[in-house]
Amino acid sequence: MQTPNIRGDDVQENRTEDAGGVVEAASSASTTSHSLIDDATEYISLNFSDANALAMRVWMSLRRTSNIVFYDLQASLREHRSVTPPTLILLLILDMFSPLEYRELTRISGMNRAAISPHIENLSKRKLIRRKPSPRDRRTEIIEMTEAGRAAFAEAFTVYNERAEYWADNLTVEERSELSRLLEKLVSNVPPDEDTRSGEIEL
C-alpha cells in the first residue's frame, strides 16, 4: 500500500485557546494517516468538553479500517479483471438462491433500487444473469444466474477470500469471532432489511 506523502511545505500549526491561554499547539508535521486517530482523539478531548471522543475514535477506526480493506479488495478484483465488490455480493446471493425476484434480491442485499439497478444492467450485458418477467407479478422481474455467472462468481470469490484471509490472519480465531460479534452488535439497532443511506453494502 502506498505510504501517504507528507510534504514539509504543507506543515501548519493549529492552536486552540481557552480562557486561561493556549490549551494545545500541534504541528501537522508529526501527524500521519496512521496517527491521526490518536492525535484527533486527544485534541477533541482537550478542546470540546461536551464531545464523546471515545465514540469518535471508534467511528474513525472503523472507517479507516474499512477504507483500507475495501481498497485492497477492489484493487485485487480489478487486477484479476473480475467483478466489483458490490456486484460480488449480488452474485453471492444469486449463487445461493437463484432464481430470485428482483425485489427479493434488493431486500436481501441491503441495497436500494437505485443503487442495485446499474449492477444488474452490467451483469445482464455480460450475460452473467438472465432477466424475465415474474409470472406472479408482472411489475417485477426474475433474476437467474447463468453458468457464466457462476463461473465469474467462483473466480471472484477466490480472490475475495484470499484477501479476507490475509487481513484475518492478523487476528487469532478468538479475536475474529469477537470482532464479528462486536461489529454485529454495533449495528444491532438497525431494523432488518432497511435500505442503507449509502445505497450499497460490500462483502
Q: Is the pLDDT of residue 188 over 90?
A: no
Q: Which CATH number fits domain 83-178: 3.30.450.20, 3.30.450.90, 3.90.1150.10, 1.10.10.10?
A: 1.10.10.10
pLDDT digits (tens, 9 = 90+) for 58-91: 999 999 999 999 999 989 988 888 788 889 999 9
Angle formed at CA 176 by CA 199 and CA 55, multiple of 5 degrees: 60
Instruction: Pick the range with the lowest mean pLDDT from 36-50, 113-127, 145-159, 161-175.
Output: 36-50
pLDDT digits (tens, 9 = 90+) for 112-136: 889 999 999 999 999 999 999 988 8
Average pLDDT over the chain, rounded to whole? 83
Lookup: cell for 131:
432477466
For the chain, give every domain's residue range.
31-79, 83-178
